[in-house]
């Protein structure tokens, strides 16, 4: 009969091979780390629960428990075997399926999808490393360490590499409107803090038997750290309930008695044209005629504003601020046909359409700004008024990395292979934000993924609060022009809408979104989606043509977040920096002995 043997740790195996004394063998066994099986199970469980908490499943309650298995890995005083490598695999288990919609844009995006997932997965082991430093070196309660580190790292990935603030843990609670009102104080990161606090509390008061069952303790070790007394457990549970109750109470108070004043009537025009890396010019008239037909449907409901999605007016708008003649411009820029652009009569076509609709148009189009020295290309939103014609232009400030520009392309030309674009490629970044005004109302346009960047939206709202006359007056609503036709009706459309809703709470402003292929929607200042554009027959809101006309619900409440930005998450990030320094210093300092918590 065969004998089942467990793999021996290297230290124990070495001691046995060199005929060590029994005392040495016992010491080597006691110093051996726990096996990696429990780490595989718990990090994988957190990844699966977190994925299910977001779209497409969107099981929001799982947002409260998805971090518990991962946080449990911070409790053992001695790291289990392969802790950080396995935690990174757990992060990859979440990010690969969460971002699978990236591959739909173009076959070349498979590489970008995998590369981004590999990078984002590193936040799982980094979270564990900093949390363990706080708990085992700094003696910080796990209930506090976990949310501080988690939120600090969420802000970090929202800033690095131009920022990726998608799939913030707090976004899982978008349906709990009362809970997310704290965003006007702390941003969406405050909601993440509450969820991570609850997970940290549950993980800290969990019995040591859980860690033994998951084989997180080294062989022969029966105690786990940090050890929390019964009184400390009650204190932690009480603190957690008080925080959650306080957040809900704040949300109730902020919403109590609020009445949204009726604003302008806005029509959202949603076409259904899949986006590709190669623009087929013969399709431009079809795209224009379809959107003009949808605009005619909207005019029947007498809107004040009509909004088209990003880049759905396919002809570029030529601007020549330098005053050069067409011949001079053609000589300076032989790569474009100046006369052809003039002959298209873009300005006259859009001005006539605005006059016939008797409404202001907000149109997404490419702008070519040409002078004798250079040609600039912008992703723009244009305001065309029935009384004055072209009355404003906003050029997108935040360009999507590898989607709208390639960093360091002059030094590393091979980087272009990571994108579906070839030849001359890239957009210029806009210079400043702009407020559009019509019939006494002011709106701030944001384009594409700009509505997912909390600090950028905040800056846009604050900078557009100064009118042309020099007086201060906040904008009345946000307008988002987006082209999500790259992603073929995937969960990206839902997650984009969810992320945008948090900007409304942070700034206490309503938002209207016109999105190619969907989801076009009206969102109020509480972050509640009032209505979405849908097909009249099927009721579908994605990959359909639709028109939605509603009255904008104006919100006159103030917002601390508008004034001070990411002060809360920034403080958490500072704490992470301190922990990082402490972790590096601990490599040269002895580990402190085990201390039983006074609480």
- 2: confidence class by pLDDT, cuts 50, 70, 90: very low
Q: What is the mean pLDDT of residues 81-101?
A: 94
Q: What pLDDT, on the 0 to 100 scale, is given for residue 5?
A: 42
The answer to whether 73 and 91 are in contact (CB under 8 A) is: no
Q: What pLDDT, on the 0 to 100 scale, is given for residue 3?
A: 40
Is 3.60.110.10 the CATH number for 261-397+432-556?
yes
Q: Which of 79-93, 110-124, 416-430, 512-526 has the lowest mean pLDDT?
A: 416-430
* Gap between the Cα atoms of 205 and 215, Å rounded: 18
**Which of 360, 383, 375, 372 has the alpha carbon at shortest distance from 331?**
372
Q: What pLDDT, on the 0 to 100 scale, is given for residue 594?
A: 44
Sign of the torsion angle spanned by Cα atoms 212, 215, 217, 220: positive
Q: Give me the phi and psi of 280, to 5 degrees please.
A: -90, 105
Q: What pLDDT, on the 0 to 100 scale, is given for residue 223?
A: 58
* Gap between the Cα atoms of 472 and 110, Å rounded: 47
Q: What is the mean pLDDT of residues 4-33?
A: 53
Q: What pLDDT, on the 0 to 100 scale, is given for residue 4?
A: 40
What are the extents of the domains in the chain? 31-257+567-588, 261-397+432-556
CB atoms within 10 A of CB 166: 19
Q: What is the mean pLDDT of residues 18-46?
A: 69
**Which of 211, 55, 66 has the alpha carbon at shortest distance from 146?**
66
Inform me whether the pLDDT recorded for 49 exceeds 60.
yes
Omega prior to 228 cis, within 30 of 0: no
Q: Return the higher-pLDDT residue of 375 and 222.
A: 375
Q: What is the pLDDT of residues 483-528, one digit of tens each?
A: 999 999 999 999 999 999 999 999 999 999 999 998 999 999 999 9
The answer to whether 188 and 171 are in contact (CB under 8 A) is: yes
Residues 6+ apart with CB under 8 A from 556: 261
The winner for highest mean pLDDT among 68-77, 227-236, 368-377, 505-514 is 505-514
Structure tokens at 136: 């085992």
Inform me whether the pLDDT recorded for 203 exceeds 80.
yes
Residues 6+ apart with CB under 8 A from 567: 186
Q: What is the mean pLDDT of residues 152-170?
A: 93
Q: Which of 87-91, 430-434, 520-524 has the lowest mean pLDDT?
A: 430-434
**Beta strand extents in 463-536 (DSSP E only):** 477-483, 511-516, 521-523, 529-532
Q: What is the mean pLDDT of residues 348-359?
A: 94
Q: What is the mean pLDDT of residues 429-453?
A: 94
Inform me whether the pLDDT recorded for 408 exceeds 70.
no
Average pLDDT score, the chain: 86
pTM higher than the cut 0.85: yes
Q: Return the higher-pLDDT residue of 504 and 409.
A: 504
Q: Return the higher-pLDDT residue of 396 and 597.
A: 396
Q: What is the mean pLDDT of residues 116-135?
A: 94
Q: What pLDDT, on the 0 to 100 scale, is given for residue 6?
A: 42
Residues 6+ apart with CB under 8 A from 531: 521, 522, 548, 550
Whole-number percent of the chain with pLDDT over 70: 84
**Beta strand extents in 200-351 (DSSP E only):** 261-270, 305-307, 317-319
Q: What pLDDT, on the 0 to 100 scale, is given for residue 415?
A: 52
Q: Give me the phi and psi of 39, to 5 degrees please.
A: -65, -45
Q: What is the mean pLDDT of residues 43-51?
A: 96
61: Cα within 13 Å, side-chain hemisphere: 0
Q: What pLDDT, on the 0 to 100 scale, is given for residue 20?
A: 59
Q: Which of 63-67, 137-141, 500-504 has the lowest mean pLDDT?
A: 137-141
CB atoms within 10 A of CB 219: 15
Q: In the chain, what is the greatest distance between 2 CA atoms, to the nearest angstrom?
A: 96
Burial of 448: CB neighbours in 10 Å, binned 0-12, 13-18, 19+: buried
- 341: confidence class by pLDDT, cuts 50, 70, 90: confident
Q: Are strands 305-307 and 360-370 parallel, antiparallel or unpaired?
A: parallel
Q: What pLDDT, on the 0 to 100 scale, is given for residue 402?
A: 60
The answer to whether 262 and 535 are in contact (CB under 8 A) is: no
Inform me whether the pLDDT recorded for 580 exceeds 90.
no
Q: What pLDDT, on the 0 to 100 scale, is given for residue 571?
A: 96
Sign of the torsion angle spanned by Cα atoms 580, 581, 584, 590: negative
* Gap between the Cα atoms of 111 and 402, Å rounded: 12
Q: What pLDDT, on the 0 to 100 scale, is given for residue 504?
A: 97
Inform me whether the pLDDT recorded for 477 exceeds 80.
yes
Q: Which of 11-20, 200-209, 247-256, 441-450 has the lowest mean pLDDT?
A: 11-20
């Amino acid at each position: 009969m065969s004998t089942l043997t467990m793999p021996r740790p290297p230290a124990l195996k070495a001691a046995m091979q060199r005929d060590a004394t029994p005392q040495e063998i016992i010491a080597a066994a006691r110093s051996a780390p726990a096996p990696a099986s429990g780490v595989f199970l718990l990090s994988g469980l957190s990844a699966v629960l977190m994925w299910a908490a977001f779209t497409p499943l969107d099981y929001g309650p799982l947002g409260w428990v998805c971090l518990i298995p991962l946080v449990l890995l911070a409790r053992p005083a001695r790291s289990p075997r392969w802790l950080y490598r396995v935690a990174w695999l757990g992060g990859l288990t979440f990010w690969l399926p969460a971002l699978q919609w990236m591959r739909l844009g173009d076959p070349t995006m498979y590489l970008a999808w995998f590369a981004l997932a590999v990078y984002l997965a590193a936040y799982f082991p980094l979270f564990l490393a900093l949390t363990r430093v706080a708990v085992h070196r700094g003696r910080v309660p796990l209930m506090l360490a976990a949310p501080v580190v988690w939120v600090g790292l969420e802000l970090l990935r929202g800033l690095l590499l131009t920022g990726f603030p998608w799939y913030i843990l707090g976004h899982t609670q978008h349906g709990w409107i009362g809970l997310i009102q704290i965003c006007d104080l702390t941003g969406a990161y405050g909601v993440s803090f509450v969820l991570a606090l609850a997970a940290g509390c549950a993980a800290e008061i969990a019995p040591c038997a859980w860690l033994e069952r998951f084989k997180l303790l080294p062989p022969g070790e029966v105690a786990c750290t940090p050890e929390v007394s019964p009184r400390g457990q009650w204190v932690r549970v009480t603190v957690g309930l008080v925080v959650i109750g306080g957040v809900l109470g704040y949300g109730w108070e902020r919403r109590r008695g609020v009445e949204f004043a009726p604003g302008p009537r806005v029509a959202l025009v949603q076409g259904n044209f899949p986006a590709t890396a190669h623009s087929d010019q013969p399709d431009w008239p079809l795209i224009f005629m379809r959107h003009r037909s949808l605009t005619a449907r909207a005019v029947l409901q007498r809107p004040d504003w009509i909004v088209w999605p990003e880049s759905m007016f396919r002809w570029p708008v030529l601007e020549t601020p330098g005053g050069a003649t067409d011949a001079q411009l053609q000589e300076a820029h032989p790569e474009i046909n100046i006369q052809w652009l003039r002959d298209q009569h873009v300005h006259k076509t859009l001005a006539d359409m605005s006059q016939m609709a008797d409404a202001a148009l907000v149109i997404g189009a490419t702008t070519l700004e040409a002078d004798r020295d250079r040609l600039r290309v912008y992703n723009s939103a244009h305001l065309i008024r029935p009384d004055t014609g072209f009355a404003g232009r906003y050029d997108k400030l935040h360009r999507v990395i590898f989607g709208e520009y390639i960093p360091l392309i002059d030094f590393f030309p091979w980087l272009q292979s990571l994108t579906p674009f070839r030849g001359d490629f890239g957009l210029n970044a806009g210079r400043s934000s702009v407020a559009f005004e019509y019939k006494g109302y002011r709106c701030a346009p944001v384009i594409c993924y700009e509505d997912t960047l909390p600090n950028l939206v905040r800056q846009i709202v604050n900078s557009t609060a100064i009118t042309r006359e020099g007086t201060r007056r906040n904008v009345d609503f946000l307008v988002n022009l987006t082209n999500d036709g790259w992603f073929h009706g995937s969960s990206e459309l839902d997650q984009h809408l969810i992320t945008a809703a948090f900007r409304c709470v942070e700034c206490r402003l309503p938002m209207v979104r016109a999105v190619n292929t969907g989801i076009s929607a009206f969102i109020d200042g509480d972050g509640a989606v009032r209505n979405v554009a849908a097909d009249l027959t099927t009721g579908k809101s994605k990959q359909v043509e639709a028109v939605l006309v509603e009255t904008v619900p104006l919100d006159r409440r103030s917002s601390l977040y508008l004034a001070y930005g990411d002060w809360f998450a920034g403080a958490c990030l500072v704490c992470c920096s301190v922990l990082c320094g402490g972790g590096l210093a601990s490599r040269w300092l002895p580990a402190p002995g085990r201390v039983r918590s006074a609480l």
